[in-house]
A and B are shown apart, each in its own frame.
Chain A
Amino acid sequence: MSELRIVRPREWAFPVPAARREVIVATPEADEGRPPVLFVPGFGHGAWAFAEHWLEHTAARGFPAYAMSLRGHGASGTAGKPTMRAYTHDVVQAAASLPRRAVLVGHGASALVVAYALARYPARAGVLLAPVLGGWRDGLGTLGTALLRNPVGTLPAFFGGRLRMRRGQLFSKELPASAATGYVRRLGRPAPRAQWQLLLRRDPEPPVGDPPMLVVGSPADRVVSRSALERAARRYGAAPLLFPGMGHDLMLDARWREPLDAILDWLDKLPG
Chain B
Amino acid sequence: MTTDLWYDTAAAATLWTNGRPVYDRGDNICVVGAGASGLTAVKNLKEHGFGVDCFERETGVGGAWNWRHDRSPVYASTHLISSKPFTQYPDFPMPDSWPDYPHHSQILAYLERYADHFDLRQHIWFGTEVVEVVAAEDGKWDVTTRGAFGGAERTQRYAGVVIANGHNWSPKLPGYEGLDGFAGQVIHASAYKDAAQLRGRRVLVVGAGNTGCDIAVEAAQQAVHCWHSSRRGYWYAPKYALGRPADQVNDLVLALRLPLRLRQWLFHRTMRMTVGDLTRFGLPRPDHKVYESHPIANSQLVYYVGHGAITPVADIARFHRSAVELADGRMIEPDLVVLATGYLPRFDFIAPEALDIGQDDGSDGPPRLHLHLFSRRHPTLAVVGLLQPDSGLFTLMHWQSVAFARWLRLRQAAPARADAFWGRVRRAPDRRWTDAKVKDSTRHWFEISHTRYLRALQKTLNELAVSQ
Which positions in A face B, CB cutoff 8 Å? 3-15, 18-19, 21, 89, 92-93, 96-101, 120-122, 208-210
Contacts and interface: CB of A to CB of B under 8 A. Distances in A.
Interface in B84-116: 84-86, 90-93, 95-97, 116
B70 interface: no
Contact of B249 (A10, A13, A19): A13
A9 B96 CA distance: 19
Contact of B91 (A12, A98, A120): A120
Chain B at the A interface: SS class = helix
A6 B399 contact: yes
B461 A6 contact: yes
B13 interface: no
A124 to B, nearest CB: 10
Contacts of B47: 122, 209-210
A18 B96 CA distance: 6
Nearest to A208: B91
Nearest to A210: B468
Contacts of A9: 251-252, 254-255, 451
B454 interface: yes
B458 A12 contact: no
Nearest to A21: B96
Contacts of A92: 93
Contact of B85 (A11, A99, A101, A120): A11
A13 B455 contact: no
11 contacts: A6-B457, A6-B458, A6-B461, A13-B85, A18-B96, A93-B96, A96-B92, A96-B95, A208-B91, A209-B91, A210-B47
B117 interface: yes
B454 A6 contact: yes
B461 to A, nearest CB: 7
B144 interface: no
Contacts of B349: none
B119 A101 contact: yes
Contacts of B90: 6, 8, 120
A100 B249 contact: no
B462 interface: yes
Contacts of A5: 458
A98 B86 contact: no
A9 B454 CA distance: 11
B388 interface: no
Interface string B194-217: 000000000000000000000000
A98 B117 CA distance: 7
B119 A13 contact: no
Contact of A7 (B96, B249, B451): B451
A237 B34 CA distance: 36
Nearest to A4: B461
A15 B91 contact: no
B249 A18 contact: no
A176 to B, nearest CB: 40
Contacts of A7: 451, 454-455, 458
B251 A12 contact: yes
Nearest to A10: B255
Given A6-B457, A100-B117, A208-B91, A15 B399 contact: no
A85 B295 CA distance: 30
Given A14-B248, A15-B85, A210-B468, A121 B455 contact: no
Contacts of A93: 93, 95-96
B265 interface: no
Given A13-B254, A21-B96, A100-B119, 20 more contacts: A6-B399, A6-B454, A6-B457, A7-B458, A9-B251, A9-B254, A12-B86, A12-B247, A12-B248, A13-B251, A13-B255, A18-B96, A19-B96, A92-B93, A93-B95, A99-B116, A101-B119, A122-B118, A209-B47, A209-B91
Interface in B357-404: 391, 399
Interface string B420-451: 00000000000000000000000000000001
Given A7-B454, A99-B117, A15 B462 contact: no
Interface in B248-265: 248-249, 251-252, 254-255
A93 B117 CA distance: 13
Contacts of B391: 12
Contacts of A97: 95
Given A3-B462, A93-B93, A101-B117, A12 B85 contact: yes
Contacts of A209: 47, 91
Interface in B62-97: 84-86, 90-93, 95-97
A100 B451 CA distance: 31
A251 to B, nearest CB: 26
A13 B95 CA distance: 17
B251 A101 contact: no
Contact of B248 (A15, A89, A120): A15
A182 B116 CA distance: 41
Contacts of A4: 461
Interface string B268-290: 00000000000000000000000
A13 B252 contact: yes
A46 B4 CA distance: 43
B382 to A, nearest CB: 17
A101 B254 contact: no
Contacts of B468: 210
Contacts of A8: 90
Contacts of B117: 96, 98-101
Nearest to A12: B85
Nearest to A19: B96
Interface in B211-239: none
A7 B395 CA distance: 10
A9 B263 CA distance: 15
Contacts of B97: 18
Chain A CB within 10 Å — which of B249, B455, B458 has the most?
Answer: B458
A96 B93 contact: yes
A125 to B, nearest CB: 13
Nearest to A123: B91
A121 B92 CA distance: 6
Nearest to B462: A3
A108 B95 CA distance: 26
Nearest to B255: A9
Contacts of A21: 96
B467 to A, nearest CB: 11
Contacts of A11: 85
A10 B251 CA distance: 7
A73 to B, nearest CB: 17
B461 A101 contact: no
